[in-house]
A and B are shown apart, each in its own frame.
Chain A
Amino acid sequence: GEDVEQSLFLSVREGDSSVINCTYTDSSSTYLYWYKQEPGAGLQLLTYIFSNMDMKQDQRLTVLLNKKDKHLSLRIADTQTGDSAIYFCAEAQYALNFGKGTSLLVTP
């Protein structure tokens, strides 16, 4: 099947904003998700956006959706060292179709 694409690595300084990008495949996906994975742990749901929305904000997290380009982004404001993790975007079909994940490294 087609792949959900994400850049593999991102490094930011503490206090800066992080932007993680994702290109998905299925224009009929009703929900798009962002999950966070810390080392050795399961996936934690961060946020999601319904396909009829352009933007969703939840505290430090902002999700932008461009349906025309099938592009999804996650912005983390005031990034902290505790935000260092792997971030997965996923599109909902009969199950979830995941990207390979973006490793975010936050440096002091």
Chain B
Amino acid sequence: DGGITQSPKYLFRKEGQNVTLSCEQNLNHDAMYWYRQDPGQGLRLIYYSQIVNDFQKGDIAEGYSVSREKKESFPLTVTSAQKNPTAFYLCASSIIGDTQYFGPGTRLTVL
């Protein structure tokens, strides 16, 4: 069954903790992306990667970190430096320059 998976679906974090959101794809896509969605807002790009072991900052990278050790995986860490992390996080993947396909999302809530 091909596609993009994100886990967990819901995540709760205490203030001051780092948390890592998982994103995996078996579509053999080179490019992967992380977006953040806030209520009533569009999606804003956090980080993207077009090749293993390389990634680029998006528009709102502060307080986040990523790694791309494997083609199929692009985990996102929300660090304690992120001032307002409560949001819906969406991962996407694509062939470079082609249509992006999205995972089901992870809803992060800071307690």
Question: Could you say which of A13-21, A61-69, A75-83, A91-99 contacts chain B?
Answer: A91-99
At the interface, yes or no: B64 with Cβ under 8 Å from chain A? no
At the interface, yes or no: A45 with Cβ under 8 Å from chain B? yes
A43 contacts B102, C-beta separation under 8 Å:
yes
Question: How many residues of B are counted as interface, with CB atoms below 8 angstroms from the partner's CB atoms?
Answer: 24
Residues from chain A with Cβ under 8 Å of B40 in the complex: 8, 100-101
B interface: dominant SS: strand
Contact residue among B41, B100, B101 (Cβ-Cβ distance under 8 Å from A100)? B41
**Most interface-central of A88, A95, A96 (chain B CB within 10 A):** A95
At the interface, yes or no: A24 with Cβ under 8 Å from chain B? no
Total A-B contacts with CB atoms under 8 angstroms apart: 53
B46 CB to nearest chain A CB (Å): 10
At the interface, yes or no: B63 with Cβ under 8 Å from chain A? no
A48 contacts B104, C-beta separation under 8 Å:
no
Q: How large is the interface on A (under 10, 10 to 19, 20 to 34, 35 or more residues)?
A: 20 to 34
B41 contacts A42, C-beta separation under 8 Å:
no
A20 CB to nearest chain B CB (Å): 14
Complex interface bits, B51-94 against A, C-beta within 8 A gives 1, otherwise 0: 00000101100000000000000000000000000000010100
Residues from chain B with Cβ under 8 Å of A31 in the complex: 99
| Other A-B pairs beyond A41-B105, A95-B100, A96-B33, 4, CB < 8 Å | A35-B102, A45-B101, A95-B58, A100-B42
Q: Chain B interface (Cβ within 8 Å of chain A)?
A: 6, 33, 35, 40-45, 48, 56, 58-59, 90, 92, 97, 99-105, 107
